[in-house]
Each structure stands twice: as structure tokens, then as C-alpha cells.
Amino acid sequence: MTVTREDIIQALRTVEDPELFKDIVTLNMVKDVKICEGAVKVEVELTTPACPLKEKIRGSVIAALKQVPGVGAVEVDLSAKVRSMTDQKNILPGVLNIIAVGAGKGGVGKSTVAVNLAVGLALQGARVGLLDGDVYGPSIPTMTGLAIENPALRGEKIVPFEIGPKEHVIKVMSIGFIVPREKALIWRGPMVHGVIKQFLEQVDWGDLDYLVVDLPPGTGDVSLTLAQSIPLTGAVIVATPQEVALMDARRAVRMFQQLGVSILGVVENMSYFVCAHGTEYDIFGRGGARNMASTMGLPFLGELPIDMSIRMLSDSGDPFANFATTGASQQRLVSIVQALAGQISIRNMTRPAGKPLQVDVTE
Ligand code: ADP
């Protein structure tokens, strides 16, 4: 019995992407079909290299193709191409997704999560940039172990710093490289607007799948400038589980929603603590941020325990080491990264192209 390309495509129409709830043919994920005497090879292009459901999709494709009469051996090649919801005519045409990481208040681990999201995405094979938008308290230079020195210029453009191994390199830029951290940064709205615009327009970000932006805590000028200057893919909210922190986190969520920025998900940081004997202590009331996400109808990306090694590796500027261990935090970080990548893909496939928000910030 001769197997035709049409038979294969028909069968692949029964395979649904488990996150996007559409079949992989409609989603344009089937890139190539080769048939040779009943042996079939298909290339499926995932929407992110950090797809947590890779093997599930592979299994479903094999199962569907085995149903087709005449099909013998099946090979599935999985590749990945990150998609974007923007029309690429914005000020950062090479950057496919911009993800703002915000929090209701300081000290909840927003920068820690931002750095680890960037590292985790890079380790999954994505091209990643990290912009320290926390102009009032830039901690990215410390957390990435970069020396404070003025960035180089290439023509008119500022060259970002780079961290990580060559195949997973992350481009990094922070106001902390330009203004010493100890100097109190008393910025007024228009100055903040200027510096953020400059970081978007004048830094040579090149081609990136994800640009992670660490925002200042609370609700303020940087978020407004970002939403106004560029189509943000969405925001991640970091919160600790206690009620006083959640009140501020809710406010941050509402601010993004008012700016027309979708919430890609909530991360519960310092969720619990595991002592040396393995007992878990819910110091701040584990589950608070998860409940907040659920009542506000937001995706929950995962929880991260209080882990001394996370703090030590932040202080020593070695975030890649968080992923090199085999502990519980490493698994949680990977799953948060994959959940975020999944939410970004969902957003890109289900929403129309975003436009920068028109908001007057002349105050
Ligand atoms: P924010 O950006 O919200 O102000 P940071 O990311 O700077 O917060 O984190 C504040 C402090 O808490 C840092 O010293 C950081 O290393 C530490 N920290 C953050 N998350 C964790 C965690 N899950 N376990 C242990 N220490 C953490």
C-alpha cells in the first residue's frame, strides 16, 4: 500500500499541541514530511526550545502515524523556532519577545527570578538578553558576576556584556555599569523614560528569542515607559506568599493590566524552607501566591523554596550554577522556565500583534 503525503498530513491533523489546543498542521508546526517505502520522517517545529511537552508531542506524532495503513518506521525530528506576536516593525526588530519581570515590593526575589529565567531559557537553547530595568537599585551586575566597567561602543550602538558558556551566552545591560550602585539614584520620571528608551534603542541586542527585563519593584515609570515604547509579550509577577506581599503583588498585576500588558504568570518565591533534616517549613505561608494567581485568573508558573545556595550564587554572580546542581531548586527552576516559555507560545499563538501603548508621560 502506497503512503501519500496527504495521508500523513491527515494523520498529523489529529495531533494536538497540548498547550495550544490546536492541531500541529493548523499551527504550521509540520515543516517537512519524507516518505520512503513506508518509512516516514517528519520534522516538527516547536514554538520554543524550552517546550516542556517535547516528548509528549513526539509520542503523539508516532502514535498517529502508526495508525496510517502502510506506514512502517517513523522518525520525528523536533526543532524549535520561537514565535513572536509583534509585527517586527518596532524599535527592536530582532527581538522576538520582551518579558518584563515585576513585583509589588522589593526584596521578594524579583531580580533573582529574572536572572534565573534568562539563564534557564538560554540553557534550553534560546537566544537571550537580560536588561536591568531596575534603575533605582540595579543588582544585575552583581548577580551576573560582571565587573563594573563602561560598556564598549560599536558605531552608534552600546555593546552589551556577555555571560555564560559560548553556546548559551546571555547579553546583559544595566544602568549599574554606568552609574555606581552606591550612588543613590534619584531619578525623575522623564529621566527614567530617557534611560530605558536608550537601553532599548541604542544597545546592540541583535537577534534574540527572549529579552528579559528586570523592573524596579512597585508600579512606576519604567513599566509605563516599556509599555509605551515597545510591544511587550507580557509580564511575570514575582511574589512571596504572605498576605502583606500579595496585596502589593495584586496592585502590580492591575497596573500591567491597565497598561494593556498581559500577565504571563506568577512565580511564588521563598515559598517554603527545607531544613538540613529534610523537614519543610512554610515560613511565609506556602501557596499564597498560587491562590492569588488562581483567584485573579492568572497562570501560576511555580514555586521556589528559600535556598541558601540561590542566595550565595547570586552574591557570587554565578547564576548558571543554580542549574548545574541536581537539587530540588534546580528542578523547580527548570519547570518555571518551561512553564513561562509555554505561556509565551500560547500568548503568541492566540493574540493579535501587540502595538506599543499610547500613554502620555509628560508629567
Ligand atoms: P528583589 O529584586 O525583589 O528586590 P532580589 O532578587 O534582589 O529581590 O533578592 C533579595 C535577596 O534575597 C537577595 O540576597 C537574593 O539572593 C535572596 N533571594 C531571592 N530569592 C531567594 C531564594 N529563593 N532563596 C534564597 N535567597 C533568595
Query: 145 with 171, same domain?
Result: yes
Last residue within a domain, chosen from 80, 110, 138: 80
Tens digits of residue pLDDT in 182-229: 665 667 777 788 888 889 999 999 999 999 999 998 878 888 888 888
What interhelical angle do 54-66 and 5-12 show, nearest 10?
130
Q: What is the CATH number of the domain that holds 312?
A: 3.40.50.300
Query: 18 with 99, same domain?
Result: no
In sequence order, what E strands does the chain have? 30-36, 39-46, 74-80, 98-103, 128-132, 153-154, 157-158, 161-163, 170-174, 210-214, 234-239, 263-274, 280-281, 300-306
User: Which ligand 1 atom sits nearest the alpha carbon of residue 214?
Assistant: 2
Query: 166 with 68, same domain?
Result: no
Query: 49 with 191, same domain?
Result: no
* Burial of 207 (C-beta count, 10 Å sphere; 0-12/13-18/19+): exposed
- Rounded to an integer, what distance in angstroms lies between the CA atom of residue 245 and that of residue 132? 22
Residue 355 lies in a domain: no
Number of structural domains, the chain?
Answer: 2
Tens digits of residue pLDDT in 131-166: 999 888 899 999 999 988 889 999 989 999 999 999
Residue 89 lies in a domain: no
Query: Whose Cα sits closest to atom 6 in ligand 1?
Result: 109
Q: Quick check: CB of 314 below 6 Å from ligand 1?
A: yes
Tens digits of residue pLDDT in 317-342: 999 999 998 777 999 999 999 999 99
Q: What is the CATH number of the domain that holds 11?
A: 3.30.300.130
Query: 194 with 75, same domain?
Result: no
pTM for the structure as a whole: 0.90
What does pLDDT average to over the chain? 89
- Mean pLDDT for the stretch of residues 309-313: 93
- Mean pLDDT for the stretch of residues 270-274: 92
- Neighbour-count burial for 216-251, b at 16+ CB within 10 Å, e otherwise: bbbbbbbbbbbbbbbbbbbbbbbbbbeeebbebbbe
Query: 31 with 127, same domain?
Result: no
Query: 250 with 336, same domain?
Result: yes
Query: 274 with 297, same domain?
Result: yes
Last residue within a domain, chosen from 52, 80, 108: 80
**Considering the chain, what percentage of its residues have pLDDT values greater than 70?**
93
Query: Whose Cα sits closest to atom 12 in ligand 1?
Result: 109
Residue 88 lies in a domain: no
Q: How confident is the model at residue 234 (pLDDT cuts 50, 70, 90)?
A: very high
Does pLDDT of 353 surpass 50? no
For residue 112, the CA-to-ligand 1 centroid distance in Å is 5
For residue 298, the CA-to-ligand 1 centroid distance in Å is 23
For residue 311, the CA-to-ligand 1 centroid distance in Å is 6
- 183 is in which domain, residue-wise? 95-350
